[in-house]
Amino acid sequence: MIVAYMCHPVGGDVEANLARAKLWLKWLTESRERPTAVIAPWITECEIWDDSNPSDREIGLSRCRAVIERCDEVYLVGGRISGGMDMERRHAVYHQLTVIDLTHMGTLPPGAKEPLDDDGELAAIIEEFGVPCSECAQPLGDKYYQGVPDRGDLCLRCHDLPAPGAEESPVAPSPTIDPAQLSPAVGKTAAAVEAMQASVRRATGENQD
């Protein structure tokens, strides 16, 4: 059985991101044709320890890197590549694992609805006003910074302010990686990529011909 590690953004609205990550974990587990154990141990870690605490976060990332070394594949999901995901991706590349970038599919897996908050209002708010800024919760509008590492999607105002608890300005977003460009480095097999692409086409209703 293949063991695959799932990467997903956490920073910003941690609770909402963990809820989305669980939807992705379910979809990935149910959509694989090959026997695959998809794991995301950081979901439990973030529910036990404080991801906003630098010490807890670094220790958690070190444990995740140790898990990645024991996996066969790594999936990138969630609509963007955060700073933590980029670190995990690079670690997987270093250990010559198969890395499959599915961030182009958006923040949610096919057929999933935006998870609701405790009051059942989040999905309705997003539908009416659009995606909110990860820090001030105001609607982002047409122009905003997408996927700022460890901060999420930011409005123009919040992007120009220092990150909470930080003295330096936030770094620029990590670029989205084209899986085709990574093929030589991460040792992707044609079978693994074709199987994943077939699953995506079926899930999104695309013609496979």
> pLDDT (tens digit, 9 = 90+) per residue, 11-36?
878 888 888 999 999 999 988 888 89
Choices 3.40.30, 2.60.40, 1.10.3680, 3.40.50: CATH for 2-115+175-204: 3.40.50
137-166 b/e (C-beta count within 10 Å ≥ 16 → b): eeebeeebbebbbbbbbbbeebbeeebeee
| Residue 69: alpha-carbon gap to chain centroid | 19
> pLDDT (tens digit, 9 = 90+) per residue, 82-109?
888 999 999 999 999 999 999 999 888 8
Query: What are the strands of the beta sheet with 2-7, ordered from one edge?
Result: 36-39, 2-7, 73-76, 98-101
Q: pTM to 2 decimals? A: 0.59
pLDDT confidence of residue 39: 95
DSSP 58-125: HHHHHHHHHHHTT-SEEEE-SSS--HHHHHHHHHHHHTT-EEEE-GGG-SS-TT--PPP-TTS-HHHH
